[in-house]
Each structure stands twice: as C-alpha cells, then as structure tokens.
C-alpha cells in the first residue's frame, strides 16, 4: 500500500484518491502487474492517475483514458490514448469499443452520477475479457443528497447492484429462475468502502449450481425445524400441561394451524428486523 501511495504522490500531474483505495487496489489488481493488458480509466481529469497506473502495471500495459473535457487530449503526448466523450451516452461506448475491442479492466472514476455509472456498466460488460474487472469508484454518491446526486434513491448505482446480485443468485436452482446473460457473465461482486468490484468471466462458464450430499443414508434421521420454531415452542408448552399430544389429534392440528408461520409471529420478526435496521442507520 505504501509503495502505491508513493506512486500516486510522485505523479507529475494532479489527481485525487481516497486513502483507503490504495490498499484495495494493491490486493485486487496485483495479478495484472507486468501483464499485457488493456486498462481503461473513465474520468482522468488532469491525468495524474494515469501516470500512477502506468508505473503500477508496468511497461506492458496499454492505458486508455476517457474524459468529457477535450483538454485531456493533451495527455496523449505522454503516451496515453485519450477518448473524449460522455460516459452517459450509449453511442459513445458503442463507438469506443468498436475502435478498441475487448479490454481487461474498466475503472469508472467519472462523474459518479447514477446514469453515468449504470450506463458505463451496461454498455461495457460484454466487452470485458475473461478474468477482467469493472471497478466503480466513489460509490458513496449512491447515498449523497447534495452536489446533484439526489440519493439515496431506487435509481442509485448501489440499488442497481442489487439486481446484479439477484441475477447471480439465479444460478441456484432453488430460485427456479432462468439464467440470463448477467447470471452467466458476472463471477462475483465485491463491495468495499466506496468501491464496487465486479469480476467478469466467460458467458458459458457459470451454470446452475449442483446440490451435493454426503451420508445420504442418514438424512432421514434429522428433522428440519427452520419453519417450525413458533409451532414447536408452543406445542412443548401445551405438552407440559396436557402431556404428549399426538400428531393425529385435533389439538395438534389446531396448534399447528394457529402457530405455524402465522401473522402474529411474522409481525414480531419484522419488528425485530426493523430494530436492527434502525441501529444500522444510526
């Protein structure tokens, strides 16, 4: 991490990064060092971070910067490729990937607005190579009201990520949902402080999960109580008073009807979860 910070501070051009980013990047990007990769950064500003990435990845890296301000074109004299365009415009991305082809890493340090982050992801995922990453910086803007971000909202990038998570979970057949492109393409999503890291794989490599069992001959000796908690507790209380209650008896059926996942206990569960959420929001 300290070495990474030194690279950042030694850059001949100005840029800004949150200090916790350097430890994250040291861990998640080290496998790309000294590899022949294509690295794209959205939002290069004065170009300070481009010099840092060049030193970090080594001489084999091809670095491409994307910026809305045409002044950034001046950075090309330092050996960087610069594309001028709006990351919120799908047509920009179509033209970009038509010229560049597939890339290894996309780092979104652009405008940090919902439409910019989401459009960048949606228009780029099919152009990331196997084993590559899409990394979105400054995702704390998904929780900011000020400076024009108008969050939190259902349109924030973090809320958008919940849909990606749902797509990943479709790989479990218990959900009984069809796999789509994103179910097969997104290997995993890692959430860091203000950074979302999305690992990309080949479209056909991720399939439905398979259930494995061991000691099958013993499975019938275990009773699954997960949905019977309130019913079992209540039944035992009745049995302390009336003795053993047969499963065939009317009393047993009435207790089960009333206390098995009924509205009263569901309300209690929701109240407790709401208390936990209130603690997290404090």
Average pLDDT for 21-44: 96
Same domain, 94 and 173: yes
Residue 221's pLDDT is what?
Answer: 57
Which pLDDT score is estimated for 60? 97
Helix (H, G, I), strand (E, B) or coil at 162: helix
CB contact burial 245-255 (16+ within 10 A = b; e otherwise): beeeeeebeeb
Mean pLDDT of the chain: 90
CATH number for the domain that contains residue 13: 3.40.50.150
Same domain? For 35 and 155 the reply is yes
| CB 124 within 8 Å of CB 106 | yes
- 99 with 149, same domain: the answer is yes
Q: Is the residue at 180 inside a domain? A: yes
Residue 190 has what pLDDT? 98
Q: Is residue 152 part of a domain?
A: yes
Least confident span in 100-114, 179-193, 237-251: 237-251
**What's the structural domain count of the chain?**
2
pTM of the model: 0.84
pLDDT at 255 over 90: no
Residue 208 domain-assigned (yes or no): no
What pLDDT, on the 0 to 100 scale, is given for residue 222? Answer: 60
Residue 183 burial (C-beta neighbours within 10 Å; 0-12, 13-18, 19+): buried
Asked whether residue 53 falls in the same domain as residue 172, the answer is yes
- Taking the C-alpha atoms of residue 158 and residue 140, their distance in angstroms, rounded to an integer, is 9
Residue 147: predicted pLDDT:
87
Query: Are residue 94 and residue 232 in the same domain, yes or no?
Result: no
Does residue 187 sit in the same domain as residue 240? Answer: no
Confidence band of 206 (pLDDT split at 50, 70, 90): confident
* Domain extent for 70: 2-200
- What CA–CA distance (Å, rounded) separates 94 from 38? 17
In a domain, 209, yes or no: no
Last residue of a domain, one of 168, 200, 232: 200
Q: In the chain, pLDDT over 90 holds for what percent of residues?
A: 67
Q: Which of 169, 200, 231 is the last residue of a domain?
A: 200
Answer yes or no: is pLDDT of 263 > 60.
no
Asked if residue 220 has pLDDT above 70, the reply is: no
Last residue of a domain, one of 167, 200, 233: 200
Cβ-contact 70, 84 below 8 angstroms: yes
Residues 125 and 169 in one domain: yes
- Higher pLDDT pick, 167 / 231: 167
pLDDT tens profile 89-145: 999 999 999 999 999 999 999 999 999 999 999 999 999 999 999 999 999 999 999
- Closest by CA to 116, choosing from 164, 152, 149, is 149
In this structure, are 176 and 238 located in the same domain?
no
Res 242: pLDDT: 86
Is the residue at 207 inside a domain?
no
Same domain, residue pair 184 and 71:
yes
Q: Average pLDDT for residues 223-252, to the nearest whole number? A: 78
205 assigned to some structural domain: no
Tell whether 255 and 179 lie within a shared domain. no
206 inside domain: no
Bond prior to 260 in cis (omega within 30° of 0): no
Confidence class for position 230, pLDDT limits 50, 70, 90? low
Predicted local distance difference test score (pLDDT) of residue 265: 57
Query: What is the per-residue pLDDT for 47?
Result: 93
The reply to whether 10 and 90 lie within a common domain is yes
Looking at the fold, whether 78 and 106 belong to one and the same domain comes out as yes
Task: Centre a 10 Å sphere on the Cβ of residue 115 and count the other Cβ atoms it contains.
Answer: 13
Is residue 210 a part of any domain in this protein? no
CB neighbours (10 Å) of residue 102?
A: 12
């Amino acid at each position: 991490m300290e070495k990474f910070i030194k690279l950042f501070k030694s850059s001949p051009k100005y840029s800004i990064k949150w200090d916790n980013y350097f430890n994250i990047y040291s861990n998640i990007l080290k496998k790309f060092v000294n590899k022949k990769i294509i690295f794209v950064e959205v939002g290069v500003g004065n170009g300070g971070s481009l010099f840092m990435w060049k030193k970090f990845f080594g001489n084999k890296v091809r670095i491409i910067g994307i910026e809305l301000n045409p002044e950034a074109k001046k950075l090309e004299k330092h050996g960087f490729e610069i594309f001028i365009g709006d990351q919120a415009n799908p047509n920009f991305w179509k033209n970009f990937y038509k010229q560049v082809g597939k890339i290894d890493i996309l780092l979104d340090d652009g405008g940090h607005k919902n439409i910019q982050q989401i459009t960048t992801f949606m228009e780029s995922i099919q152009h990331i190579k196997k084993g590559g990453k899409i990394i979105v910086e400054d995702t704390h803007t998904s929780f900011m009201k000020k400076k024009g971000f108008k969050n939190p909202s259902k349109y924030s990038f973090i809320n958008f990520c919940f849909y990606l998570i749902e797509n990943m979970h479709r790989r479990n057949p218990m959900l009984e949902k069809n796999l789509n492109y994103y179910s097969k393409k997104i290997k995993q999503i890692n959430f860091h402080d203000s950074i979302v890291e999305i690992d990309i794989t080949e479209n056909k490599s991720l399939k439905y999960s398979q259930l494995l069992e061991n000691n099958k001959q013993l499975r019938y000796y275990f009773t699954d109580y997960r949905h019977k908690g309130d019913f079992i507790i209540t039944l035992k209380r009745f049995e302390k008073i009336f003795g053993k209650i047969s499963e065939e008896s009317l009393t047993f059926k009435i207790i089960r009807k009333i206390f098995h996942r009924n509205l009263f206990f569901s309300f209690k569960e929701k109240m407790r979860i709401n208390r936990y959420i209130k603690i997290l929001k404090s």
